[in-house]
Each structure stands twice: as C-alpha cells, then as structure tokens.
Amino acid sequence: MSVSTLYSLVGSSLFCLGLYGLIAYGHLLRKILAINVMGTGVFLILVALAYGSREISPDPVPHAMVLTGLVVSVSATALALALACRVQENTGSTKLTEDGSD
C-alpha cells in the first residue's frame, strides 16, 4: 500500500464518519461539524490521488481545486452558523423540528 492509497482510504473513512454524524445527531452545530469533516475527507481523497499520480512532484490542479474548496467550505460554514444562530433565536431550540417528531 502506498502513501497515496493510505490517505485516500482515510479520506473515504472521514467522509462516511461525517455522514454518520450528519444523520445521527439533531443538534445543528453537530451537523455543521459533520459537514466540515465530510468536506475534509473529500479533499483528502483528491490530494492523495494527485500525490499518487506524481513522477517528480504532485499534480497542481487538484491542489488548486482543494484550495478553492476550502475557502468555499469556510463561507458555507459561516453562513450555516449564522442561520443556526437565527433559528435558535427565533424558535428557541437548537434542532430542526418537523411537526413535533424527533
């Protein structure tokens, strides 16, 4: 197993761990944490595959894509956190409810 394969497997595990955290917990902050972990997993897979295809140095195009993705991820997280604070201010609860269930 090469370094690249190891980190790709870590990336896919992080993605699935994040997906479990997103589904299993109701608290909005936990969901946003889980989405961030999922995004980090995807970036790991991208960069690990770029490292794996190297001859001298890794492929720079996935690096640029991940850099863009990182900034987009922080903007989405910031907006999601602002919305979550608003939801908590307006409804008083930190979970999204549908007609009283969950």
Partner 1 sequence: MRTFSGKLIIIVLLVALVGLLSWAILSLPFHGASLRAQVFGNLGNSGVSNPVTAVLLNFRGYDTLLEIVVLFLAALGAWSLGIVRLPDTMHPARPFLLALLRILLPAMVLAAGYLLWAGAHAPGGAFQAGAVLGSAGILLLLTEVQLASIITNWPLRIALTAGVVVFTGVALGTMILGGHLLEYPRGWAGTLILLIESVAAFSTGITLVVLFIGGRPSKSDPSVALKTPEERKEQL
Partner 2 sequence: MTWSQWLLDLPLALVLIWLAWRLLTSADLFKAVVLFIAFGLLMAMAWVRLQAVDIALAEAAIGAGITGALFLSAFNRMNGVQRKDDKDQDDVKGRNV
Chain residues binding partner 2 by CB under 8 A are 1-4, 6-7, 9-10, 13-14, 17-18, 20-21, 25, 27, 29-30, 32-34, 36-37, 40, 43-44, 47-48, 50-51, 54, 57-58, 63, 66-67, 70-71, 73-74, 77-78, 81-82, 84-85, 88, 94
The two tokens of residue 15 are 């993605």
Q: How far apart are CA 36 and CA 59, in angstroms?
A: 24
CB of 100 to partner 2, least distance (A): 22
Phi, psi of 98 (to 5 degrees): -120, 100
How many angstroms separate the first and last alpha carbons of the chain?
Answer: 44
